Structure 1
């Protein structure tokens, strides 16, 4: 009997009982936390709205939560449907992401990321909508008008519901044009509007100069814009800002200008005039 007792691995036995004690401690702690959650109440509501736009603000979020879920401050934590509140926030056409959680001190934290709009479209019927960075349609609101490019003219695509994807090639091209120009110092300052003419070509309306800049579609944008830059750097200084009514870079390898008076000059002559 004594030999059996001596052969017992007491270290392993100690580890076993230590593990059991740890598990019991964890269960007791979880039980205490659970009971605390049942009795603890929401002490405050903190709302953080992020993003470059201001379609919605902290007051809008707080009001929405109060209207749909009632007052949260003062209610016990287990009575507040955090996941439902988060899902409801994500339904807003102006919200890209939302996160709702409780802090240990009972503060309800609400973080909202707004959608970033790229262009404001006014179609041929006068209907307006925004397009965001994910090519989804965002409704226009009177509360906030973001400083983005406006595109109008012969655009057939309309607006039916929030967050529906863009369908037409022309609107997708308009978004691409804005994406290519908004971070460029020259074009972000020079282009004030986009227009789709009767030939379904995209025109850039400049801030300086009376000429219309025709690029066609969004194919080979870098190449087309580089030819327009050539016009501004080498040709306009020689002829003046009002010499041409149209500058067309729709066709590869050419800068076609229409002078007031229906006089055309091709790319070869442009190169000669530059020298």
Structure 2
């Protein structure tokens, strides 16, 4: 009797396994032969408006209408190639393509976050073009749909061929830009950063007629503490239009002219 019960259990396990595998194979065949019915684009960004549009993404997906995925068998659609097409737009940080059970293809896009923008103040050079700077320090172009309110970057420093702000010479500038963006006061007060060829920095503030001589992007925290003294103690006492320049580039000094 025990042998019969044990044998019955073994038979049940084998039958269940075969049925399960049959269902999986059947589902795989249906899934593999399914055609793409629609393309659904989702854009995630941190700006007030999107830097890219759904139409722009769909144009990249379809290679400007020459390679539409709709109607194609999913097994003939190269998701990685589509992701690469979308990522060719530098305003896009990441792209994930996947399918659902109803036959739809989802394209989930995350935009880069601009933290600054290079501008040409005097015609620039062959290398100087307007670009947003991403959180990673990459130059990502600009958007025709939305102008982000970010710190403006200009000056002779950028009159050379550059791909990003991650090289050893520029990394300190990226650190400074992030420090400004992480402080609500400085983010609102500092509107433009002019960088000389040697890396020396001058800020143009939002309020007041003065310029801020910051020097190299070193001792950032110490220099901002000195600037806070200027804004909290000196300007309220002397008036916002009393000075044309304030310098914090020298150690242990705040020089006002």
Pick the TM interval, shorter chain.
0.7 to 0.9
Higher RCO (CA < 8 A, seq sep 6+): 2
Structure 2: how far apart are the matches of 1:198 and 1:98?
37
Following superposition, the deviation at residue 193 of structure 1 comes to 0.7
Following superposition, the deviation at residue 254 of structure 1 comes to 1.3
Following superposition, the deviation at residue 153 of structure 1 comes to 1.4
The partner residue of 2:26 within 21, 32, 47 is 32
Structure 1: how far apart are the matches of 2:256 and 2:16?
83
Following superposition, the deviation at residue 38 of structure 1 comes to 4.1
User: If the length of structure 2 is used for normalisation, what is the TM-score?
Assistant: 0.85
Conserved 8 A contact 2:213-2:245 = yes
Determine which structure has more spread, i.e. the larger CA radius of gyration: 1
The partner residue of 1:56 within 52, 55, 66 is 52
Following superposition, the deviation at residue 65 of structure 1 comes to 1.7
Conserved 8 A contact 2:165-2:171 = no
Deviates more, 1:118-127 or 1:217-226: 118-127
Q: CA RMSD in A?
A: 2.5
Structure 2: how far apart are the matches of 1:197 and 1:96?
30
Conserved 8 A contact 2:165-2:173 = no
Following superposition, the deviation at residue 100 of structure 1 comes to 0.7
Unaligned runs of 5+ in 2: none
Q: How many residues align?
A: 249
Conserved 8 A contact 1:137-1:159 = no
Matched, 1:19 2:13: yes
The partner residue of 2:140 within 138, 141, 145 is 138
The partner residue of 2:96 within 91, 96, 99 is 99
Matched, 1:203 2:202: yes
Following superposition, the deviation at residue 223 of structure 1 comes to 1.6
Structure 1: how far apart are the matches of 2:82 and 2:4?
54
CA deviation profile, 1:42-94 (whole Å, cap 9, x unmatched): 22211001112433221111122223662222333323222321233233322
